[in-house]
Structure 1
Amino acid sequence: MVKVAVVTGSNKGIGFGIVKELLKRFDGVVYLTSRDDGRGKAAVAKLNELGLKPEYHQLDVTDRDSVVRFRDHIKEKYGGIDILINNAGVGNSIDFYPPYEECKTIIDINYFSIFTIQELLFPLVKDNGRILNMSSACGHLSNIRNKDWIERLLKKDLTVEDINEFVNWFLEGVKNETFKYDDIADEGKGAAYRVSKVALSALTMLQQKELESKNIAINSMHPGLVQTDLMLGLGFYDIDQAAQTPIYLVLDAPDSLKGAFVWHDRKVVDWYDYKGDYYFKTNYFIKNCAQKSE
């Protein structure tokens, strides 16, 4: 049976780099997917110029009908998925403190869309398969400063409802203009992105429990500060370098690595270490990237 790897949001950036590396190393079919057909097919053409042959399918993770169409396509053509990398996501605009509608869009794409993927695509992942949720340094618990939410997210019996309430607490606060930005690290810069990725990282650990019976490994990771549109072209790594740890996690990591939060250097980080120095620091990033570009 043909093996299948799927990378969401892979017409550019890290996702594109992951597809390129999978095509070189994975013994099977690799799907490049994108929300926009034109951009997706243009990305396929770039890979074809390198002698690489991905398969392509339109996939908008926020559109249930789109996910259903993709699911049905995979079921009919290949029957299942061996590797699923949930890479699709968006960041803040130039504004570190965007209005409610932008915050909601960030949350919907980066977090709530994963429930559609979980419902429709996770069942296609074969026994012993691997899933990777692309998180961020912004997805570590140390990004949260609100003591009540730190305590709740630390619960051993954390539930999906807890995580959803955390996300909705943030959204309601922004909508009602009651949100206190000192409840988030780094003066609350990029709070929506941080909340979305903290929620995704927490959810990954719950998903691992549900997938254990099929011996599927699911992890989340911080890919590093990469030169992508999300980072406005700034960063310490290009997309080919950034693809190496995701590839390791889905192809080479030991079967025992499950439900973990992994740093870009393959180090497993304690996600619960809310006092740790893992949160994203905007000023440090801008200063160091500026020095590097000089």
Structure 2
Amino acid sequence: MTSQTQTSKVAIVTGASGGIGAAIAERLARDGFTVVVNYAGNAAPAEALVARIEAAGGRAVTAQADISNADAVRRMFDSAETAFGGVDVLINNAGIMNLATIAESDDALFDRQIAVNLKGTFNTLREAAKRLRDGGRIVNFSSSVVGMLQPGYGVYAATKAAVEAMTSILAKELRGRNITVNAVAPGPTATKLFLDGKPQEVIDRLAKLAPLERLGQPEDSAATVAFLVGPDGAWINGQTLRANGGII
């Protein structure tokens, strides 16, 4: 049974309409959080997710916002505060990945990943730093490519390395408010973002990289987030957890 204290908490999950974000939203709803399901453009998957959560006895609402737009992020926080009285948890899951060597990366590839992965995370962190209720939790999403440093991931890995830096710095800046700030860095995970465009032999090879010899599942990342925002994660702060099955 979920405690009354936890059931009153409100969590914004960015990029929550599919993949890891949807798994996080469903897990937090099961754990008793009211979940704000953020999506950028396509409302249908987000609305379907909210329907599933509510059918299972949880509480959730959709919130359209392109996180690269600071005004849209501000409005999303405004709406959550109006509807629920405040926000306790921010999960920065939204992100995009476009791969190319550094030599072949054009300006559009660079600018879009910076806009969503880095500026978007900054936009939500800035609002959360001002507005999260004391005792809250922030979980950013990095990637294990920051440690693996594979060719073709230069721009993407750079955005995620910057997210890790901001994670540790914001944890220190929020001293005195009992708010933890951490990051989760998944390895290869069986999501549309990861699987699209990859031949099966490549997927099979990547699945064997971790000593546990499988791809991560969205639920693996969701369980890590649930730990960090739950009572057992209260002493973890300013850290990046590489939830990747031991790949690095």
TM-score normalised by the shorter chain: which range applies? 0.7 to 0.9
Once residues 4 and 21 of structure 1 are traced to their aligned partners in structure 2, the CA distance between those partners, rounded to angstroms, is 13
2:92 to 86, 99, 110: 86
Displaced runs of 4 or more, over 6 A:
none
Contact kept, 8 Å, 2:16 with 2:94, in 1: the verdict is: yes
Contact kept, 8 Å, 1:86 with 1:132, in 2: the verdict is: yes
Partner of 2:199: none
Question: How far does residue 18 in structure 1 lie from its aligned partner after superposition?
Answer: 0.5
TM-score by length of 1: 0.69
Contact kept, 8 Å, 1:79 with 1:124, in 2: the verdict is: no
Partner of 2:37: 32
Report the secondary structure of 2:192's partner residue.
coil
What is the aligned-residue identity percentage? 28
- In structure 2, the gaps of 5 or more residues are 197-202, 208-214
Partner of 1:76: 82
Once residues 91 and 63 of structure 1 are traced to their aligned partners in structure 2, the CA distance between those partners, rounded to angstroms, is 18
Question: How far does residue 51 in structure 1 lie from its aligned partner after superposition?
Answer: 5.2
Partner of 1:190: 153
Question: Per-residue CA shift, 1:145-199, capped at 9, x if unaligned?
Answer: xxxxxxxxxxxxxxxxxxxxxxxxxxxxxxxxxxxxxxxx33x311111000011
2:119 to 105, 112, 134: 112
For 1:125, the aligned partner's letter is L
1:213 and 2:218 correspond:
no
Change (3 A) 1:49 1:4: closer
Partner of 1:64: 70
1:257 and 2:220 correspond:
no
- In structure 1, the gaps of 5 or more residues are 144-184, 268-276, 279-294
Partner of 2:200: none
Question: How far does residue 208 in structure 1 lie from its aligned partner after superposition?
Answer: 0.7
Report the secondary structure of 2:195's partner residue.
coil
Q: Which moved more, 1:119-128 or 1:189-198?
A: 119-128
Question: How far does residue 15 in structure 1 lie from its aligned partner after superposition?
Answer: 0.5
Question: How far does residue 117 in structure 1 lie from its aligned partner after superposition?
Answer: 1.3
Partner of 1:163: none
Change (3 A) 1:35 1:126: same
Partner of 1:20: 26
TM-score by length of 2: 0.81
Q: Which moved more, 1:8-17 or 1:45-54?
A: 45-54
Report the secondary structure of 1:6's partner residue.
strand
1:229 to 182, 192, 195: 192
The structure that has the greater radius of gyration is 1
